[in-house]
Amino acid sequence: MHEIGFVRDLAVVMLVAGATTILFQRLRQPVLLGYILAGVLIGPHTPGVLVGDPQAIADISNLGVVLLMFTLGLEFSVRKLREVGIGVLAVAVAEVGLMLWIGIGIGRLFGWKGTDALFLGAIISLSSTMVATRTLAEGGQRRQAFARLVVGLLVAEDMLAVIMLTLLTAVAIGGSVQAGAAFTLIGHLGLFVVVGTILGLLLLPRLVDYVAGFGRNETLLVSVLGICFGASLLAAWMGFSVALGAFLAGAVVAESRSAARVTHLVEPLRDMFAALFFVAIGLKIDPLMLWQYGVPALVIALAVIVGKTLACSLGIFVVGHDPRTSLRAGLGMAQIGEFSFVIATLGLSLGVISDFIYPVAVAVSVLCMATSPYLGRSADGLADGLRRVTPRSLRLLATSYSGWLENLKPVNENAAIAAIFRRLLWHIAVNILLVVTLFMIGAYINARSWNWFSMLGVGRDLRHTLIWAGALFLSLPMLIAVYRKAEALGMVLAEIGIRERIAGAYTVAIRNVLARLIPLATLLVLALLVSALGSAILPPRGVVLSLLLVLAVLAVVLWRGLVKMHARLQAVLKETLEKPGPADGHG
């Protein structure tokens, strides 16, 4: 019977999950809440144990988290992040930062150790994409204005979750918050994320579309799952979380023309593995410990609901939305979920947090999940009640503020100039990121391949020269692009900022000077940044000057070819990121 132990445990989990789905649908309660409670009932900490093998529980949990993170990545997509808007992104950063601070404060208030408080702050800072989107869908509210803001906040939080996983991994591996170790690991993981995303965007969407062209759902599904688990294994092999690899794979696949078809095929698997994931969470819970830490769980749940509602509502109002829409968006974010469990699992598996943090996180999540539907349904009543008790002068001030922000928005010619300005800044930022990535790869190769160079008889200075020269040469198309985009930016700023009625006969001359200064200043800033990042692989000063001279000559000789090469690369990325929605349906 031992050889079918995992199959037996999996069968029990799926049977209980199926029964839970039916029961909680009838009770009009969140199904995810039912999965967790079902896991507690059949787990090793309750009488009449049905699933007790720790390895089986870990395997079920890992299987669930990989597919769950992949589908969250599919819903994320780089295009959606671009559509979020700087205002909503700023609100998400402020809200996550505030909740992180509140969580750390609560942990210290209860006398918990530093890493427990830090992980608690991270756990309560991220809202649940699954709970929030399901609540909106079940309430028929997905097309309303506040729902779009909720989705935007969730997308921004997904990006912040990746950053937070990076920082917490550094803490977990180092055992404490050590700046040196943290920055080293952040550099390595940032390199993995940036390089993986860029290479993925260039290759995987086309591969997925090619496979989709065969017209066979089976082939497409198996290929996409291969990408998902392959990315997870790659992340694990490099020392990172399998959840991170699966999430990035989903975000890249989401940029293909066949993304809607892939999502349609993966949806049943997502629901199945979401059930596995949340039941596995319940399997790890000791009810006695849950009872012991009931008061902290209640306090933290209240802090999540009140803190997230106020932070998101106020932030959304500040960036220009009316009070009612802002409040409804804030209430939609008042819960924690899947990323919180991934963070708790990370801390527990690496032994840097106490055993009670995981059940406390689950208890907080359960309380928030249970209240989330009621908060959504009572949003209008709460908004009306707040309006009645708010002084008339304060309501007038809020209305005036919203109207003032509306008048500040660029229109007509100014709107077109603002769009050009944003596009140029976006292109400059992407190219700078690519240059930085190349020098980070050089530093990574220098650190990891020292023995290999030694075997070839390559000394330290020659090794640094070869790596630095390679990174510099590969950066040449991007450096030229940065200069050209900065030159165009300078011309736009000169045209806008230098008016003829002020400068008179010197208008053209001043504009020309400004148009030249801005690209040169941009290249100077980039040079300082590259010097700082490439300090670990910097050759001797004389070699650096020689290489820069050679680079300048190559730039002049190969200018046209490099511009064309960069244009083709930019066209590929642009085509990938700006593809219209799929027209092939769900075949």
pLDDT value for 582: 44
pLDDT computed for residue 583 by the predictor: 40
- Residue 584: what pLDDT? 40
CA 261/CA 257 separation, integer angstroms: 9
Question: Please, are residues 490 and 446 in contact by the beta-carbon 8 Å criterion?
Answer: no
Which positions ≥6 away from 524 have C-beta within 8 Å?
none
At 302 the pLDDT is 92
pLDDT of residue 449: 61
Q: Which CATH architecture has domain 55-305+335-372?
A: Up-down Bundle (1.20)
Compute the chain's Rg from CA coordinates.
27
pTM score > 0.75 for this model?
no
Distance CA 117, CA 123 (A): 10
First to last CA, the chain: 41
Q: Tell me the C-alpha distance between 312 and 214, whole Å.
A: 45
Give the start-to-end residue ranges of the domains of the chain.
Answer: 55-305+335-372, 415-577
CA distance 288 to 182: 36
* pLDDT, position 303: 92
What pLDDT does 585 receive?
40
Neighbours of 338 (CB within 10 A): 25
- CB-based burial label for 540 (10 Å; 0-12, 13-18, 19+): exposed
Nearest alpha-carbon partner for 194 in 533, 552, 470: 533
pLDDT given for residue 182 in this prediction: 53
Low-confidence ranges of the chain (pLDDT < 70): 1-6, 47-58, 77-84, 166, 170-191, 400-418, 444, 447-458, 460, 494-508, 510-511, 529-538, 541, 544, 559, 562-563, 565-587
